[in-house]
Each structure stands twice: as C-alpha cells, then as structure tokens.
Amino acid sequence: MGNKALRSADAYAKSFQDWLANNPQWFPVDTQQRDALSFIENRAQALAGRYNAIKENDENFQFSTLLNRWTEEAREIPRLEGMNTPSTISSFEKYNDQIETIFTEFIAPISEDEGDKTPFLTYCAEYFSSAWMTNATLTFAGYGEQEIYASYTLIKFHGFVDGRLTWIKGNSYALNPESDPLMAICLPAQSDAIDQYLMGYDNQMIDEIIERSHQERYDVLRAIREKFQDDEQMLEKLDNAVEETLSEFETQIPQTADDYSERNYLVQLRRALAALPAASLVEVARSLIELQALRKTTSAQTDTVGGPIDVALITPTDGFVWIRHKSIS
C-alpha cells in the first residue's frame, strides 16, 4: 500500500480482503472440489456413526430425528459471508456422481427414505455454509489515520469455495476513554494454554464437557424410561422433560465458567496489565506465546507454535516498530 493511510484498522482489514478476493489463482479449482467432497464424506460418516451408536440403545430411534437435529444445530453456527444454503446445494450438483456414491454407501442403508438425498444435502449445505473449515485468522491492529486510541479487528479467511472467497469477521475492539481499564487482550490463534493461564480454563475443556453430556443424555433417558415402560403418557413427558433440562444445562455451562473466570482471574489480570509500561507488555506478549509453544512441546503435539518469536510495538507517534525480530536479534 506504500504510504497510503486508511481511516481505521477495520478499513485496512477490508482493503486486504478486497485484494485477496481478486486473487483466486492461489486457490486451485481441484482443491476446492476435493475439499467439498471430503467434507460431504466426513459428514456422512459422522451421521452414520452417531446413528448406529444411538440405535444400539434405542431400537426405535429414527435416522431422520438425528439428521433434523444436526441440521438445526448447523443453522446456529455463524454464516460465512457471501454463502447460503441454496447456492451451496447448487455447487454440490457439480459433484452429483461422487455424492451419489457417498450417499449410497453411508446414508441410504440407514435412512427411512433410501433414495431421497435432499435432507442429507440440505444438512451438508447448512454446515458447509458456516464457519466449519480450517481458517487463517488475520488480526489488523493499530491506529487508523483518524483514530486516537488503538483498535483491532479479526478476519477469519476460509479459502475459496466455487470461486468465491469465504470469510467471517471475528472480534473487533476499539479502546475509548470510557474503557475500564483502558486495555484489551486479543488471542487470534491457538490459545488453549494461554486461555488456561489467563482465565483458569480453556474452551476445549468446556466443549468436551458439553459433548460428553450430550452423549450421556441418551443413557440417562434410557435408564429413566425403563422405570416407566408401561406408561406411554409418562414416557412422552419424561422424554420432553429430560431433553429440555439437559439442553438448559449444556447452555449454562459456558456462562458458569465465564462467571468463575471473571471473579477469580480476569478482574485482577486486567488491573495488573493496565498498570504496566509498554516495555513490560511487550514481554508479557512474548511470554504468552512461549507458554503456548511449551504446551505443544510437553504434550507431544505437532509444533505448530514456536520457533523465533517476533514482537512489535505500535504507537501513534512511532508507528510500527520491531522490538524483537529474527532479522535483527
């Protein structure tokens, strides 16, 4: 961009997004097709696996019940910009022969209507139109030409689908004189170890608790149903009551964790960091990344975090200045 200045950090994000959208040559058509078919096969396998697991405990369970529930859940996931279910189904039609093979192998044997692919494709399209794909999150942070206080905005780029750039806007934050304290922490990438250190827990743990409670729901319901197996009206009431109660419980788990974290960790953290000078904040940022890298190493995970850590400081007076960089250290 040379010396061209934009009015805000958000404007820089939009400028980069427009530039990327006009360079589809970096995302080959063959890769787009392979990703779509891999996704559809993955969803078919997941549906079949989950249905068979439930069927072992409830012989009257129908595949359509599971498919409808998963479709509704997919609709609740944030949508990728520029994508919707009808256009995605239209894109899938280009791979009709391959999809027919996947459907015949995984879905037809368990579906009540063996030949109707529409409900399955609708589910896939709902999910495919959401923020499901591996993404590259870019954070645009600093000061726009018309900004006095720092701000940041996150864009999660999901590549190209059928020739269209897919993306979703993540968190945005702009400091203002009324902010208390006048600071913010942005963690745009892998952050489980950082989250655990800052908040006392990581989101993967909460997701695992919710997933486990979801899996156990049917065991609980089956055990209760056995005590009232001769009372059909009571069984129907029990089904509804257990489903509603456990759904509410799953919804409350994240909020409970957030409240605990706020009381016991984040209040003190924000007060401490807000009082630190810029040089100390630079070291905090570097140390948090090292903490995340250490988690990868000590848990025998792929070292996707680590290596030389570059740290920069952005101020209204000096602009962007490297404090620590592999080329100067």
> How many residues are given for the chain?
329
Residue 329: is its pLDDT beyond 70?
A: no
Taking residues 173-189, what's their average pLDDT? 83
- In the prediction, which pLDDT does 77 show? 86
CA atoms within 13 A on the CB side of 189: 11
- In the prediction, which pLDDT does 255 show? 87
What is the pTM for the complete model shown? 0.72
* Residue 155 near residue 13 (C-beta atoms within 8 A): yes
**pLDDT band at 311; cut points 50, 70, 90:** very high
Residue 269: is its pLDDT beyond 70?
A: yes
The rounded distance, in Å, linking the Cα atoms of 172 and 152 is 6
- In the prediction, which pLDDT does 301 show? 76
The rounded distance, in Å, linking the Cα atoms of 167 and 160 is 9
- Which token pair is 291? 């903490």
What does pLDDT average to over the chain? 87
pLDDT, tens digit (0-9, with 9 covering 90-100), for 132-162: 767 789 999 999 988 889 999 999 998 888 8
- In the prediction, which pLDDT does 99 show? 95
- In the prediction, which pLDDT does 56 show? 87
- In the prediction, which pLDDT does 317 show? 87
Residue 237: is its pLDDT beyond 70?
A: yes
The rounded distance, in Å, linking the Cα atoms of 164 and 81 is 10
Which uninterrupted H or E stretch holds 289? helix 278-298
CA atoms within 13 A on the CB side of 215: 10
User: Cα separations (Å) of 34 from 30, 80, 83, 95?
Assistant: 6, 19, 18, 10
Residue 250: is its pLDDT beyond 90?
A: no
The rounded distance, in Å, linking the Cα atoms of 133 and 22 is 21
The rounded distance, in Å, linking the Cα atoms of 139 and 312 is 14
pLDDT, tens digit (0-9, with 9 covering 90-100), for 95-104: 999 999 999 9
DSSP character string of 80-143 = PTT--HHHHHHHHGGGHHHHHHHIIIIITTT-SSTT--HHHHHHHHHHHTBTTS--EEEEEEE-
- Which token pair is 92? 């899938």
pLDDT, tens digit (0-9, with 9 covering 90-100), for 24-79: 888 888 888 898 999 999 999 999 999 999 988 888 899 999 999 999 999 988 88
The rounded distance, in Å, linking the Cα atoms of 67 and 127 is 12
- The torsion angles phi and psi of 228, rounded to 5 degrees, stand at -130, 35
- Label residues 266-295 b or e (16+ Cβ within 10 Å = b): eeeebeebeeeeeeebbeebeebbebbbeb
Q: Where do we find the tokens 């056995």?
A: 226
Angle at 103 between CA 97 and CA 104, to 5 degrees: 90
- In the prediction, which pLDDT does 187 show? 86
